[in-house]
Structure 1
Amino acid sequence: MVAFVCFMCPGMFNALGGLGGGGKTDPTLADNMNTALYSAFAVFGFFGGTFVNKLGVKWTLAFGGVGYCIYAISLLVSVHASVAGFNLFAGTWLGICAGLLWTAQGTIMISYPNENQKGRYFAWFWGIFNMGAVIGSLIPLGQNIHVTSNSTVSDGTYIAFIILMFIGAVLALLLCNASDIIRPDGTRVILMKSPSWQSELIGLYETIKFEPFVILLFPMFFSSNWFYVYQQNSINGAHFDTRTKALNSLLYYLAQIVAAVIWGYCLDIEGVRRSVRAKAALGVLFVLTMVIWGGGYAYEKGYTRDTVNPKLNPSFVPTDWKTDGYVGVMFLYIFYGLYDAAWQATVYWFMGALSNSGRRSANYVGFYKGIQSAGAAVVNNLDARKLSYKKEFISNWVLLSISLVVAAPVIFLKIRDHVAIEDDLAGTDETIADVLPQGHPEKEGTV
């Protein structure tokens, strides 16, 4: 259910963003909106756990979904009038809403499943969620199938996104609250009790105090949304005509679905110890970073901002799917989609492997979404300032590579084959009685 909410809201948002510039020819407006969005997201991502635990999952998700509708509405209005103030408000408001929605989603995804199911939970979620981006990419593809110039998408495209995003916000109201969830083995999901701003701040501090090594994952968090701007604006939005941008976006998110399923299930292979799987995942991800981004460097050298700008280079013709050589860059873009799913799955799985506690998981996710969004705010601002494509590319490759090296001590020293309940509850206000099933011998007589 949470995946389908994300299918309708952030999934459609990704489809819109995948066209480059929010569907507009010039990405500057979308860059400025997204800078405001991710700046607000960075703050509310840290405190999203308070709202999730206080309001409940369904109300937090529903409220979060509304922000996506307003964002799409502002882009539609901007096609016909200059409404910069409304656009910046919509970006900021979506940042607040998205911070709450993604904290609720992340907390559920890494605290609901048992230890041996966390990879496949991600696979199912990421597949359904990205199917939203796939369906969303079909909308502009169908409506702009004959548009062989690089132009803004039609009004009907924006209207379709607005309607679907609103449906997603309403769908969230059909969910039950996390406190009512009982796993098949009878155990309950651990939730933080009576949260407040103060207790949330203390919780963030206690999370660092309990596991200071988690700080070494922060560069992976920071990098996890950094590459979207380069891929969507500097490749797809800059170099292709409207219908090919839509096709590229469709293939990108289809690749994510395939990769999420394969990667998620590989992370849960029961015949291999979890500590070994963690090391293997880190190693494979490093190899993919070198290979895929190495191929990306070969492509990036072929153009600059000036050569793909029709005002500066009147002879520039956007690449169409019928253009010679398109197949090569098409596969590069597909592999970028595969890489994105593998990166996100690995980060979530690493966090889930560190703890089974819902409270601590909410804090991990808060750090993840907050730091991730800070990175996205920075790179959107750099793109709005017209940083060269070469520098954007180098920043991606360097950040991703270094972050894997920095994370290595966490993977090698802190991810164990099993996290004991006693260790999970250390430093929290929960007791073993909160997590044992009814009728368990150790639960009897426990307050």
Structure 2
Amino acid sequence: MPRYHSPLAQVLIISGVCFLGPGMFNALNGLGGAGQLAPQTAGDANSVVYFTLFIFSILGGGIVNVFGVRYTTAIGCIAYALYTGSFVYYNHLESGTLTVASGVAVGMGGGILWSAQGVIMVSYPSENEKGKFICIFWIIFNLGGLIGGILPFAINYNNTGSLTDSVYILFVVLECIGAATALFLVPPTTVVRDDGSRATIFKSSSIRQECREVLRLFKNRWMLLLLPMSFSSNFFYGYQFSHYNGALFTLRTRGFNNMLYWGSQIFSVFLLYLLLDFSRWTRRKRGICAMIIILITFNAVWAGTLVIQLRYTKGGSDTDYPGGLVDFLDIPRAAGPAIVYFFMGVADSWYQSMAYWIIGTLTSDSYKTARYIGFYKGIQSLGAAVSWYIAARDVPYLNQLIGNWVLFLVALPTMFYTVVHIKERDTFNKLLVRI
């Protein structure tokens, strides 16, 4: 067992929190329309979620620096339970008001939770373990999406309508357990690595000070360069979840596909970790090789998606996809679209992990990391808000696919530029001064 105050123990705890909180949220969204036949309510709610996330993620780093990681993370996880519970209300009254309102709570709590998660995952490990810790987190976190796919798949195997109350209630219970798990986190200043060094150096921080530092992020060269990466990193969820998985497949098959999507991330991120922590190569060489792999994979995925997208223009019960909705038991029809969805998950895990790794190379100071991760998650959430807003409207599916592909290509040059200019080791801890 790892020491309680070790980086590994704390990463395992925050991984469990995200497994039970955001992991369940991702599982619901992955079903398309959060398991509802009419996706507009979930799409509108997600627009609210991610727009609020945009604001509170940028502020989240400062909030975590002032109030710590424990209680901010626990409160953030409770917000996910409120959102999931609102669908029970929707099932009975068919009113999306509570769901959209609870989206504000998720945006506020989630923005702070992800800032805390970034601090723990990126700044706690030593330089030669950053890839491993990202891998550990991503595997445990995506088990949430995997199990979140198994549950509705099993419970709703013979159900052709929306998810039942029992599934939503089960998700709420799991998210509440996640909030309780967050209470086992310790302050960053008490975390000690195996070599005896501390994960962070103590500096007092105030609300005024953090507001000033957050504003400086908008003039930070690296944050500005990484804006396209941040904006596009969750943009594809609206299309993939609602207009691919949600539009093409039966309810039980959407659950089955969820298992493929999140399950693919578990093994694929391990492969990326082997590359990013390969000590015989320099940081720069590892980063460039990873970027080339991501470039090839994403373009192949979008090309395969385009082939399928050209066969339909609308989804759901009135889809014009040849043969109607696809069921996983109809293997000849399901194999191609399901394989493409599997590799969408692979590409997602590599892109997200690469983004964290790049940010982790910029500094090892937990206070700066909190602000950098918060800024990244904020811009990421702004992109997701736009994506879900588009997904809830009558924008042609093909236009959404092309927009996602173009955004990815726009993000690549500045990601490559940042990787090429990576320093071989972070000297920040030697140069640390009181801010």
TM-score (norm 1): 0.90
**In the TM superposition, what is the alpha-carbon distance from 1:197 to its structure 2 partner?**
3.6
Distance 1:293 1:121, change over 3 A: same
State which of 20, 37, 46 in structure 2 corresponds to 1:25: 37
Matches within 5 A, 1:366-445: 366-413=374-421, 415-421=422-428, 425=432, 428-429=433-434
Distance 1:262 1:313, change over 3 A: closer
Matches within 5 A, 1:308-387: 308-310=315-317, 317-323=324-330, 324-387=332-395
SS of corresponding position for 1:325: helix
Please tell me whether the aligned partners of residues 248 and 316 of structure 2 are also in contact (alpha carbons under 8 angstroms): no
Deviations 1:60-104 (A, max 9, x none): 110111001100011111011143332221001110010011000
SS of corresponding position for 2:226: helix
Please tell me whether the aligned partners of residues 23 and 144 of structure 2 are also in contact (alpha carbons under 8 angstroms): yes
Aligned length: 422
Q: Report the counterpart of residue 200 of structure 2 in structure 1.
A: 190
Instruction: Give the greater-gyration-radius structure (CA).
Output: 1
Q: Given residue 339 of structure 2, which amino acid in structure 1 is its aligned partner? A: F
Q: Given residue 407 of structure 1, which amino acid in structure 2 is its aligned partner? A: M
RMSD: 1.8
* Unaligned runs of at least 5 residues, structure 1: 431-447
* Residue 131 of structure 1 pairs with residue 140 of structure 2: no
Please tell me whether the aligned partners of residues 355 and 424 of structure 1 are also in contact (alpha carbons under 8 angstroms): no
**In the TM superposition, what is the alpha-carbon distance from 1:315 to its structure 2 partner?**
9.4
Matches within 5 A, 1:287-298: 287-298=296-307
Distance 1:214 1:322, change over 3 A: same
Q: Given residue 278 of structure 2, which amino acid in structure 1 is its aligned partner? A: I
Distance 1:424 1:152, change over 3 A: farther
* Residue 170 of structure 1 pairs with residue 180 of structure 2: yes
State which of 223, 248, 252 in structure 1 corresponds to 2:257: 248
Please tell me whether the aligned partners of residues 137 and 249 of structure 1 are also in contact (alpha carbons under 8 angstroms): yes
* In structure 1, C-alpha distance between the alignment counterparts of 2:94 and 2:253, rounded to whole Å: 28
Distance 1:206 1:302, change over 3 A: same
Distance 1:309 1:164, change over 3 A: closer
* Unaligned runs of at least 5 residues, structure 2: 1-12
Q: Report the counterpart of residue 116 of structure 2 in structure 1.
A: 104
**In the TM superposition, what is the alpha-carbon distance from 1:57 to its structure 2 partner?**
1.4
Distance 1:282 1:70, change over 3 A: same
Please tell me whether the aligned partners of residues 313 and 319 of structure 2 are also in contact (alpha carbons under 8 angstroms): no
SS of corresponding position for 1:90: helix
Distance 1:256 1:95, change over 3 A: same
TM-score (norm 2): 0.93
Q: Report the counterpart of residue 277 of structure 1 in structure 2.
A: 286
State which of 266, 275, 282 in structure 2 corresponds to 1:257: 266
Deviations 1:5-35 (A, max 9, x none): 1111111111111100011011100011111
Please tell me whether the aligned partners of residues 311 and 321 of structure 2 are also in contact (alpha carbons under 8 angstroms): no
Distance 1:391 1:398, change over 3 A: same
Distance 1:38 1:420, change over 3 A: same
Distance 1:410 1:78, change over 3 A: same
* In structure 2, C-alpha distance between the alignment counterparts of 1:127 and 1:35, rounded to whole Å: 27
* In structure 1, C-alpha distance between the alignment counterparts of 2:273 and 2:76, rounded to whole Å: 26
SS of corresponding position for 2:260: helix
Residue identity over aligned pairs, in percent, reads 35
